[in-house]
Structure formats: C-alpha cells, structure tokens
Structure 1
Amino acid sequence: MNVFSYKDIYIEDGKRVLEVNILPEKYCNFDCIFCPIGRSYNKVDTQQSFDEIDDSFNELESMIENNNVDLVFINSKGEALVNSRISDIIDLIKSKGVPVRLLSNGYLLGRKEYMQIANKCDEVIGEIKAISEEDFQKIQRPIEGYTLKEYISNMILFNKQYKGKFILEVTIIKGYNDTEESVNKIKNIINEISPDKVIVERMNDERFKKKLGISDERFDEISKALQNI
C-alpha cells in the first residue's frame, strides 16, 4: 500500500500540475474546527516515519515521467513538513527538472530545520485564518504553546530569507475575520509578511458553508481590498 495519493492532473496557467499528498492520514500541528479532512488524531510538529515509503517514491517518479508534469504541488492531509522523508521527496521531484510548490500552514517555517527544507521549493504557500489570539486558539486548536504572534513571526522570518515565490492564502470566515476592522488587521499582516502573491479563499465545504461562509458580494469586496494592497 502506497503512502502517497494523487489528484487528477489539471491545467493551471497552461502548466500540467500533479498534486500529491505525502501523508497516509492526517498529521498536523493544528486541529481546525473547519478542516475538511476531520479531526487531528495525530497532532504533531515533529517528523514522522512511514512504512512502505520506497514504493511511494517509485510511484511518484513514474507519475512525473509518464504525465509530462510541469509542476508538482505537495498538498497533504495536514502538515507535509512532518513527513521525515519530505526533503528526499523534494529532491526526487527536482531531479526530474520539475519545480515544486509546497503547501504548509506556515507555523513551522520559522524553525531552521523546516526552513531549510522549504527553501528547496520553488513556491511555498503559507496560510492565515484567525487574526486574534483568542480565535486562533478556539478555531485552529494548535499544539499547546503555539501563539498567533509566533505564527505570523515565523512566516515573516521565512519570507525574509526565501528566494522563491511565497504565496499567502487568506481564508475569510464569517464572524471571525470578515469585518472592516478584521480586514484592516489582515492588511497589516500581509504587509508584515510581504508575500509575492495573496490568494483569498472562503468556506466552500458544504458542511461549514452555512455557518462560516460569507456572501458573494462581501467576498468580492474583501478580495479586492486584500489583493490591491
């Protein structure tokens, strides 16, 4: 049984993208109340080893070679950086002459060992959802001792030294960060992190959309405000 799983190849900006999950189940340092994957029963921020990983490497190599892939997007069930072989995974992809995009929630990017791994990638995506310490603890339920201040600081620290393209994904959540005051706070966070690109998202999962989703009109307003900084 392979550890990795894949989405169908899709086209983005004319490029063939292979999206791969490198975790056998959810391993994450957060336990967000709105996570589409479900609860974090493996709540960790240290690297984990998985059995039968060599078969997964062979499969990934074949997927890249047989599908004319232009970009590999590591988008996993949780925090991809906790896979103990992620550095080798990135090296394999790069050895095929294919660029790598990594999705991380961003908290670990300020730690030297993870920073060095992420630096190998051509693109790194970090995330912001909660914008107050109270909400961060309440809706993202991080590992004990984590703070919102350190979360933001870690991404600032990473991006200051990162040579690739840093993308900040901001998720707008009804009742938590959708007011004008909240949007202004997000603007300040964006200015501090100084990403190369901002992506604005909202709750699209039907399980959370009714309670945490915002209207199309409000989403458009916020998107324009954040992407025109």
Structure 2
Amino acid sequence: MEVNILPEKHCNFDCIFCPIGKSQNKVDTQKSFDKVDRSLVELNSMIENTKAELIFINSKGEALVNDKIGDIIDLVKTKGIPVRLLSNGYLLGRDEYIKIANKCDEIVGEIKVITEEDFQKVQRPIEGYTLVEYISNMVSFNKQYKGKFIFEITIIKGYNDDETSIQKIKNIINEISPSTIIVARMEDERFNKKLGITDERFEEISKELLNS
C-alpha cells in the first residue's frame, strides 16, 4: 500500500521535470503538519482493512521532512509489516535522518543527472548542495544500512543517455553498492517529447546498467 505523508509538495529539490509541479516549500529540516494524529488512526484502519503486505511511503516530495515520520514508521512496524521509504537520498547523510531511515526495511534512493552543472540547473536543490555530496551521502548511508537499498536511475535524453554518462552511472552504482537497481525513464507525457528516449535505447541502457 502506498502512503503519502505530505499534504503538499515539500522537498529539498525543485526539479524542472517533477510531475508534482514546482516546489513552493523548498526545505530540508523537519516541520509539523496538522491532523497527523487523525491520519495515524486512519492509517491504522487502512492497514487492517487492506491486509497490506508492505507499506510504501511515497510522498509529494521528501517524506523525511515530516516530523512525525518516525511515529508513522513505528506504527506500521508494530503491525509486523515491512516499510519501504522513497527518498531522493540527499538527506541520508545526516544523523537525524539516518536514524529514521534505519527503521525501514527498504530505502529507495535515486539519481537523475550526473554533472554538477546539470544538478544545479535542472534539479535546483537548496543552495549549498552539491552532486558529490549527494552521491557521498547515499554511499555512506548504505555502508551502515542493514536493510535493502534500492537505487533508482532515471534516464533522461540529453542529460545521461550517452556512453560517457552511462560509464559514470556505473561508477556510482559501484560506489553505492545497492541491493537492487531500477532503471526508469520519463513517463509523464509533459516531458516525454523533450526528455524521453526511444524504447531501443532504453533497453540498451537498462541491460548495460543492470549487468554492471
């Protein structure tokens, strides 16, 4: 069962191709949201009614900024159900977020571009963020993580679909050493024309990365 724990987009990035839209709340520190207690009761009821086998926290932005995320994970775990958390991965280098992420059975981290210039230009992170630190945070997190680290790579035409980029991605995969690799591409029709790649090229890249 997928769960969104943010009422609107709150993220430390403001990617130009985000399907949720522009980030009005660019944050990387935790904040409180209204009606969380009521939502926990609803979540408890939904878990029991659906007989969910896994809870996937897949939110509008970076779920780690919800200051009740630890309570949400704890609730799910009391039911004996595993938790998968999607994070862009940048915050996995901070102690307070490492502690929360370590409660989860599965963590999904991701990467979309592989040059500093593109990272700043199209992912538009909080000022001071760097691509080197982004990758380093996921590397250091996974070295101490006991669960399953899933690394999702989105292939974007003109940004990371050439052979040089693919080799760089392979190097990043080797650094992070994830449990599982997911190779994805732009699915949103609004971005497909400019940023989508052909089925044939996607198949080539997928095979090369999955065999790395």
Residue 103 of structure 1: aligned partner: 86
Higher relative contact order (CA 8 A, sep 6+): 2
Distance in 2 separating the partners of 1:195 and 1:33: 27
2:43 is aligned with 1:43: no
Distance in 2 separating the partners of 1:95 and 1:82: 22
Normalised by the length of structure 2, the TM-score is 1.00
RMSD across aligned positions (CA) = 0.4
Residue 75 of structure 2: aligned partner: 92
Q: Aligned AA for 1:68? A: K
2:163 is aligned with 1:180: yes
Distance in 2 separating the partners of 1:80 and 1:73: 11
2:129 is aligned with 1:146: yes
The runs of 5 or more residues in structure 2 that have no matched partner are none
2:164 is aligned with 1:162: no
1:197 pairs, out of 175, 180, 201, with 180
Cα deviation code 1:16-68 (max 9, x no counterpart)? xx000000000000000000000000000000101111110000000001111
Cα deviation code 1:58-99 (max 9, x no counterpart)? 000000011111000000000000000000000000001100
| Number of equivalenced pairs | 212
Cα deviation code 1:161-192 (max 9, x no counterpart)? 00000000000000000000000000000000
**CA positional deviation for 1:125:** 0.2
Q: Aligned AA for 1:96? A: K
Residue 115 of structure 1: aligned partner: 98
Normalised by the length of structure 1, the TM-score is 0.92
Distance in 2 separating the partners of 1:44 and 1:82: 8
**CA positional deviation for 1:112:** 0.5
Distance in 2 separating the partners of 1:52 and 1:22: 11
Q: Aligned AA for 1:217? A: E
Q: Aligned AA for 1:30? A: F
Distance in 2 separating the partners of 1:110 and 1:225: 28
